[in-house]
């Protein structure tokens, strides 16, 4: 019963969608760009590599382009935006009583299996997001709303891909 009660505290998905759409519209109106997420992680990877081995970072053709002399890699719009996401999600979670340390997984799999697949899934999503120049937020949502062709291609491929592979991973979830 506890689970049912908690899920009732989520807002109506269509209301959530309208709010998210208005936020995206406001972001376009003020900043001339949309929302994002994976870009901030890319910046922190660039910052870490640059911190540990600056020469190596400069040599890397891909990550090197995000490291400049005049600006720290973390001094980036998306990094501040994602810091905000953490704060916002924490506020929402604490108001709804959802803050607790846990590994959420289906009773049919162990916490360890869930963690392993989470790392693996993140690893692949990380690669894919760099190849497609953005993730669900930056490429698919913001890109499609701005009518960019890449946004629609990426959106269809992400969701289409997940449906395509869902059968093979059903034991993880249902």
Residues 121-140 that bind another protein (CB under 8 A): 121-140
Q: What minimum distance in Å lies between the beta carbon of 54 and another protein? A: 14
Smaller CB separation from another protein, 68 or 91:
91
**Which residue of 5, 29, 55, 70 would you call a contact of another protein, by CB under 8 A?**
29
Residue bearing tokens 């980036």: 76
Q: Look at residue 94 and give its three-state secondary structure.
A: helix
**Which residue of 28, 58, 72, 74 would you call a contact of another protein, by CB under 8 A?**
28
| Residue of 35, 27, 17 whose CA lies nearest to 141 | 35
93 binds another protein (CB under 8 A): yes
Its sign, for the CA torsion 83, 94, 22, 159, is positive
Residues within window 33-62 making contact with another protein, judged by CB under 8 A: 33-35, 37-38, 41-42, 44-46, 48-49, 60-62
Q: What minimum distance in Å lies between the beta carbon of 56 and another protein? A: 9
CA–CA distance, 141 with 25 (Å, rounded to integer):
11
| Residue of 159, 105, 163, 111 whose CA lies nearest to 135 | 159
């Amino acid at each position: 019963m506890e689970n049912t009660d908690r899920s009732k505290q989520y807002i109506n998905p269509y209301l959530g969608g309208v709010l998210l759409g208005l936020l995206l519209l406001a972001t376009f109106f003020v900043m001339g760009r949309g929302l994002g997420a994976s870009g901030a992680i890319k910046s922190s990877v660039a910052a870490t590599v640059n911190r540990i081995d600056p020469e190596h970072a400069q040599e890397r053709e891909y990550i090197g382009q995000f490291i400049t002399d005049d600006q720290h890699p973390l001094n980036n719009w998306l990094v501040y935006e994602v810091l905000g996401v953490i704060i916002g999600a924490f506020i929402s979670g604490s108001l709804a009583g959802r803050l607790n340390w846990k590994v959420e997984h289906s009773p049919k799999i162990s916490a360890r299996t869930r963690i392993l697949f989470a790392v693996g899934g993140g690893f692949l999503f990380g690669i894919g997001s760099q190849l497609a120049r953005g993730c669900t937020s930056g490429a698919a949502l913001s890109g499609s709303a701005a009518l960019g062709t890449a946004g629609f291609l990426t959106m269809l491929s992400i969701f289409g891909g997940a449906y395509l592979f869902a059968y093979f991973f059903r034991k993880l979830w249902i």
